[in-house]
Amino acid sequence: MNKDEISDMGPIGVFDSGFGGLSILRDLRQVLPQYDYLFLGDNARAPYGSRSYQLVYEFTLQAVKYLFSRGCRLVILACNTASAKALRTIQQRDLPTLDPSRRVLGVIRPTAEQAGRLSHTGHVGVFGTPGTIGSGSYDIEIKKLHEGFHVYGHACPMWVPLVENRESDGPGADYFVKKDVEALLSQSPLIDAIILGCTHYPLLLDKIRRYVPDGVKIVGQGAIVADSLRDYLMRHPEMERRLSRGGTCEYLTTEEPEKFSPLASVFVREPVSAAHVTLA
């Protein structure tokens, strides 16, 4: 490998509004451990779930530009809200001027692709933030890919704050999870698969399992996104060649690292020592 090729290589950027994207990062590193990763959490401005299209777009674009400036050739928006509200505009409007050779990928499309495999009845439930559910992105993507499918969305505005505030194991979480599970399942008795359409929600999995009847699958996105990225890189060797392979992982947060690192360590199940960044 010559010098030019090496200087054209960089880590995979993984972005989320907060901690949730770490649940995706963990699976990415398990399936594709050979690459370097740079995680960025915009914790100081999380949650994004109830923010306007314009703000989610502006914040996400700032994050993407920052990750590009740190050498990332490929950025995964490990956030459904950002994927629903900002991804398309960034791909279509910003990327061509920023750098057409770089890529920004989201988490909704790969998850929607799997719906046909996950549901036998064709009736799929989706939990998400108000932003994701309100955007109709899952409904649109799943129906585009799987004819005749029915999609039932339910927004859970309290779930992200429960996770961000380390309340996901407490009795408050039981109250909200039970209420939201019942609200989703009351939309159709035929729902046999529920997509956790927010990367924070796997942290509430134990609680969710408690209230979802046996026989209804609960689908997290980590493994789906990781498998989808592996396939993407096989189909795009020109991008794969530009990913550095040191097996490292760095963490960045817009919040104070002393606040971020302890909870981040819980998500990724290893010690995290994050650095602070300011996005503008």
Residues serving a catalytic function are 79, 198
Of residues 18 and 125, the one with the C-beta less far from ligand DGL: 18
Q: Does 23 bind ligand DGL (CB under 6 A)?
A: no
Of residues 37 and 138, the one with the C-beta less far from ligand DGL: 138
Instruction: Region of 256 please: left (phi>0), alpha (psi -120 to 50) or beta.
Output: beta
State both tokens at 95. Answer: 């990327």
Report the distance separating Cα 223 and Cα 187, nearest Å.
27
Segment interacting with ligand DGL (CB under 6 A) among 27-35, 76-84, 238-246, 251-259: 76-84
Report the distance separating Cα 239 and Cα 253, nearest Å.
26
Segment interacting with ligand DGL (CB under 6 A) among 73-81, 87-95, 184-192, 266-274: 73-81
SS3 category, 103: strand
- In angstroms, what is the minimal distance from the CB of 20 to ligand DGL? 3
Q: Does 228 bind ligand DGL (CB under 6 A)?
A: no
User: From the list 10, 11, 13, 47, which residue makes contact with ligand DGL (rule: CB under 6 A)?
Assistant: 47
State both tokens at 139. Answer: 């409904």
Report the distance separating Cα 242 and Cα 46, nearest Å.
31
Q: Does 87 bind ligand DGL (CB under 6 A)?
A: no
Alpha helix segments (H runs only) across 115-170: 115-118, 130-135, 137-145, 159-164
Distances (CA, A) of 217 to 7, 62, 234, 240: 45, 36, 29, 33
Q: What is the dihedral of CA 159, 89, 15, 260, to 10 degrees?
A: -60
Which one-letter amino acid corresponds to residue 24? I
Report the distance separating Cα 152 and Cα 41, nearest Å.
29
x/- binding map, residues 158-197, to ligand DGL, per CB under 6 A? --x-------------------------------------
- The number of residues that bind ligand DGL (CB under 6 A) is 17
Of residues 47 and 257, the one with the C-beta less far from ligand DGL: 47
Q: Does 129 bind ligand DGL (CB under 6 A)?
A: yes
User: From the list 43, 132, 137, 253, which residue makes contact with ligand DGL (rule: CB under 6 A)?
Assistant: 132
The residues that touch ligand DGL, with contacts defined as CB under 6 A, are 16-18, 20, 46-49, 79-81, 129, 132, 160, 198-200
